[in-house]
Amino acid sequence: MRTTLELPDVLVNEAIKLTGISKKTELIKYALENIIQREKVKELANYFGRINLDINLDKLRKR
């Protein structure tokens, strides 16, 4: 998909320095992948303590 964006040079230059990615297209892809991953991790955190795996740790340790 082709899209025209106006990106602040300061942000782009800082991202290039931090990541070492020199092509803007690759930099945007990297940023989007990281945003998606971060949001998925947030969703997983919502399940903390809500899933009962019915695991007996003592029994597993004795194996």
Whole-prediction pTM:
0.68
Query: Phi and psi for 46 in degrees, rounded to 5?
Result: -65, -20
Q: What is the pLDDT of residues 13-60, one digit of tens each?
A: 999 999 999 999 999 999 999 999 999 988 887 777 676 777 888 888
Residue 58 is predicted with a pLDDT of 85
Listing DSSP states for 3-55 in one string gives ------HHHHHHHHHHH----HHHHHHHHHHHHHHHHHHHHHHTTTTT-----
Residue 30 is predicted with a pLDDT of 97
Residue-range domain boundaries for the chain: 9-61
